[in-house]
Structure 1
Amino acid sequence: MFPHFLKTIPSDSENLLGYTPPIGEVLRTAMNAQIRALTGGDITKEEAVLSMDTWRALTELDAKAKEVEDIKRQTK
């Protein structure tokens, strides 16, 4: 449903340190990044983002991920 946002995690061969953080830390970091992307860094919008419909939030995150992909492709 969200091909630009939900992607396969890179293989462990790219993890040169051999360290895998605890799943709770990984999920917390990912969730904070998602909230920040949806608020644009404006903490006054956090309550609205947290009460937003999940599908709507994922649609917006997918659109933002696509924009980043497009920018990366254009700058190559």
Structure 2
Amino acid sequence: MYQGKRTEELVCRLMTHAPSTGVLPSRLELFSRQLMLRSVQYSPLGMCILDRPLVASVIGAVTTYLVILIQFQRYDN
């Protein structure tokens, strides 16, 4: 993640210092947009990729189990 942000900053610097004519500015702008729109993926210890769908399903499962536990606690009292 850090390297992606650093690359994005470097491309932005190049865009400000590049000449305004030619092919280079349009290619830098396209590359900059691709960097900004690229989804960030975390891979803890290389075991799996933590992306948005996985995190959402984990949060949904935890919420479901919490609701079930709360309901059982109400019946125990």
TM-score (norm 2): 0.32
Larger Rg: 2
Tell me which of the two structures has the higher relative contact order, counting C-alpha pairs closer than 8 angstroms and 6 or more residues apart: 1
Q: Which has the higher helix share?
A: 2
TM-score (norm 1): 0.32
